[in-house]
Amino acid sequence: MNIKPERLQKSLSEQLTSIYFAFGAEILLVEQSLSLIKATAKENGFNERFRFDIDGNFSWDSIFSLISSPSLFSEKRIIECRLTTGKIGVKGSKALTELVETIPEDILLIISSGKLELAQQKSKWFKALDKNGIVIQHWEVQSNQLVGWITGNMSQLGLKSNIEVANAIAYCTEGNLLATMQEIQKLKIAYPDGKINLQEYLNQIDQQSHYSVFGMIDSALQGDTDKVNKIFNSLVDDSTPPVILIASLYREIKNLVTMSIELKTNQSIEAILNNHRVWQKRKPLISNVLKKHSYQKLQKLLLKLGRIDRSLKGMDNLNVYDELQSVVLSLSGKNNGLNS
């Protein structure tokens, strides 16, 4: 049976099933479900746990031998299987199907994996899991869902949810859920009573970003070319991978292009900024850039980033760092051959 992740807690409180399968591209989300299942299992007397990492060459006899051998320490045992790939082979598919169809009552089987292709979700072993246990599929958190996800996790940790703080975290962690959760946990340590000092936190974010990719982008949006050059050279000296610079710039400029298109439909700038969940502190920056740069110029910057990315992969012949610096300077307002 397939259930949504948000229903897992309620399902566990009603009944602990013998088989659980959690999977999805976001490791953090899968791990959160596994933690809930294991915590409930412990409350129900499952005190002994065995973990197996499984690929296409795994010997399933070890699991069947474990099940057939009585435990010396606990009557109830957990067998946790991490599928390192959804391609477990013909023998693996047969073994896993047999396992889920014959699992004893004193064994709790917990299986997890990363993202599965549609063909893998139609396999015999997947159908056996769906028929005999509970399947929890985790979808990636989309950019328009991220702030809500952050506020929800802040509340769970006893932090007073704050949209401004959530927007700041979303901006600085770029949708990396592991980094996002670490930032939320740091907030809990810094503000154990749950009441976040907003100005103090925003000042801290500012200090952290001064010589980061974010600081460079914000300096470009402010039109501060001297600071852009200073931060860019610092990032290069620190051997910042160009793929990080490309991805961050692409995301920022792609959002600007989208907002520029929306401006042409006579939507108000405030409505557009709110719709894109632009952090309050950055609204003046984004507004000025949308007034300063035409849609055509922003689109050219986006296309240039595409060429830089292809050059990084050996499919074009641009000097990656020189061209990246040119893009950032163009974003700051300096004319680098791109008409505005």
- How distant, in Å, are the alpha carbons of 50, 144, 295, 330 from that of 153? 29, 16, 37, 38
Same fold yes or no, 2-138 and 143-208 = no
pLDDT higher than 50, residue 340 = no
Q: What angle do CA 157, 160, 166 make, to 5 degrees?
A: 90
**pLDDT tens digits, one per residue of 139-160:** 888 777 888 899 989 998 999 8
- How distant, in Å, are the alpha carbons of 144, 164, 263 from that of 2? 25, 35, 42
pLDDT band of residue 52 (cuts 50, 70, 90) is very high
Burial tier of 101 (Cβ tally within 10 Å: 0-12, 13-18, 19+) = exposed
* Percent of the chain scoring above 70 in pLDDT: 95
- The CATH number that domain 2-138 falls under is 3.40.50.300
State the CATH architecture for 143-208.
Orthogonal Bundle (1.10)
pLDDT score at 141 = 84
pTM of the shown model: 0.64
Which residues lie across from 50 on neighbouring strands?
Answer: 79
Residue with tokens 């340590």: 189
Domain 210-332 falls in which CATH fold? Zinc Finger, Delta Prime; domain 3 (1.20.272)
Q: Where are the domains of the chain?
A: 2-138, 143-208, 210-332
Q: For the chain, give the longest Cα–Cα distance.
A: 76
**pLDDT tens digits, one per residue of 152-188:** 899 989 998 788 888 888 877 766 788 889 889 989 9
